[in-house]
């Protein structure tokens, strides 16, 4: 966003999105595409006002009602023709032309126990052995 607008932009709050985005079907973290719709139809707040907690349990959207609206998303769409039809090259072009790209990764179950090392397709590789 700094490249697009030429000014420092404060960090925006992922916590408020995780807690308040009613479009995301109750998923912790949710789907980035639905966060785009939420940002179009509502607004985003700063990390200073809604700090990241890493969970939504016992968190309520009311906790962020005092936060001032900071940013809105202008248009949400898929890079490529639809879900799953993108590539690194298409994402690079999108960033160059329009700026920010919201993405996701599907983490395998091993992420629940990961603490250190390099996570590979075959498991965790400890660099200190």
The ranges assigned to domains in the chain are 1-76, 80-129
* Tokens coding 27: 């998923």
* Tokens coding 52: 């990241």
| Per-residue pLDDT tens digits for 24-59 | 766 656 777 888 889 899 999 999 999 999 888 899
Q: Whole-angstrom Cα distance, residue 29 to residue 10?
A: 21
Indicate yes or no: pTM above 0.75.
no
Q: Whole-angstrom Cα distance, residue 113 to residue 65?
A: 34
Task: Give the CA distances from residue 44 to residues 2, 51, 57, 80, in Å, rounded to whole numbers and listed in that order.
Answer: 16, 13, 20, 25
Residues in the chain: 129
Residue that wins the pLDDT comparison between 127 and 57: 57
Beta strands, E only, 2-127: 118-120, 123-125
Consecutive H or E run containing 120? strand 118-120
* Tokens coding 32: 């980035």
Q: Whole-angstrom Cα distance, residue 21 to residue 61?
A: 9
| Per-residue pLDDT tens digits for 77-87 | 888 887 778 88
Return the CATH fold of 1-76.
Answer: Cathepsin B; Chain A (3.90.70)
């Amino acid at each position: 966003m700094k490249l697009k607008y030429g000014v420092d932009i404060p960090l925006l709050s992922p916590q408020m999105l995780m807690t308040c985005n009613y479009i995301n079907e109750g998923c912790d973290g949710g789907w980035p595409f639905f966060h785009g719709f939420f940002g179009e139809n509502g607004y985003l707040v700063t990390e200073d006002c809604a700090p990241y907690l890493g969970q939504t349990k016992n968190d309520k959207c009311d906790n962020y009602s005092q936060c001032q609206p900071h940013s809105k998303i202008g248009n949400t769409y898929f890079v490529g023709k639809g879900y799953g039809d993108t590539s690194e090259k298409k994402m690079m072009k999108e960033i160059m032309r329009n700026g920010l790209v919201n993405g996701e990764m599907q983490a395998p179950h091993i992420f629940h126990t990961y603490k250190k090392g390099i996570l590979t397709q075959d498991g965790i590789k400890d660099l200190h052995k």
